[in-house]
Amino acid sequence: MIALLDSDILAYRIGFACEAESVALALSRMDKTIVDTLMACDHGDFFYDEWKLFLTGSNNFRKEIATTAVYKGNRTAPKPKHLAALRKHMIEQWGAEVAEGQEADDAIAIEGTKYGDSCIMISLDKDFDQIPGWHYNFVKKKHYYVDQAQGDRFFYTQILTGDKADNIIGLFKVGPIKAAKILEDKTTTKEMYDACVEAYGNADRVIENARLLWLRRYDNETWEPPTG
């Protein structure tokens, strides 16, 4: 079984934590964190004897889709001082795969879809809750499982609420509670999609948000509205 590790989060967390430290110490902390995380992701009868690390590359396709607001345009803070060194270290020493044209999240989702319950996705990013399968939050040390229905509902909830972290604009004053009311009693993806279109008053904003939020399940996928 295989563990799929969101390494972007590790690079930023350790980079910021080691801002006042040497690069050597930052790399040492990275190695320890990776080992500790991989050791802790086993649970119950599930043991992960393989792993893959993923980093985001350049030319994210979402930047061309976003028209309502610049994708991640709210991220103006300086990057960690040792970020480049940490990424290089993960690529050279841990074999991290760099996802070009998309995000590490997409590459993990593609692999997660391929492996199914034979893998675990390791991250702190809530966006992964749209992907069916095993998940591990390495800060809360929490293992949990997302089934297809839960993943679909989370995705359509995000379409309504947006995602402030990525500068994806949702409906005005609609949070998870109001979104749950809008999607109440909707059981199929078509019903949830139609409810989102009705709430927005047009399909364009729904499709834009969906294509920004959707994590790919196969290479070069573009999300399309459900037809039935």
Walk along the chain (228 residues) and give the pLDDT tens digit of each residue: 999 999 999 999 999 999 999 999 999 999 999 999 999 999 999 999 999 999 999 999 999 999 999 999 998 889 999 999 999 999 999 999 999 999 999 999 999 999 999 999 999 999 999 999 999 999 999 999 999 999 999 999 999 999 999 999 999 999 999 999 999 999 999 999 999 999 999 999 999 999 999 999 999 999 999 997
Contact 138, 53 (CB under 8 A): no
Rounded Cα distance between 155 and 131, Å, is 9
Q: Are 52 and 5 in contact (CB under 8 A)?
A: yes
SS3 category, 58: coil
* CA torsion angle 87 93 96 101 (round to 10): 50
Q: Is 6 helix (H, G, I), strand (E, B) or coil?
A: strand
Burial zone of 67 (CB within 10 Å; 0-12 exposed, 13-18 middle, 19+ buried): exposed
Both tokens of residue 123? 């991250």
162 pairs with which residues across the strands? Answer: 169
Whether the Cβ atoms of residue 111 and residue 12 lie closer than 8 Å to each other? no
> 0.75 exceeded by the pTM?
yes
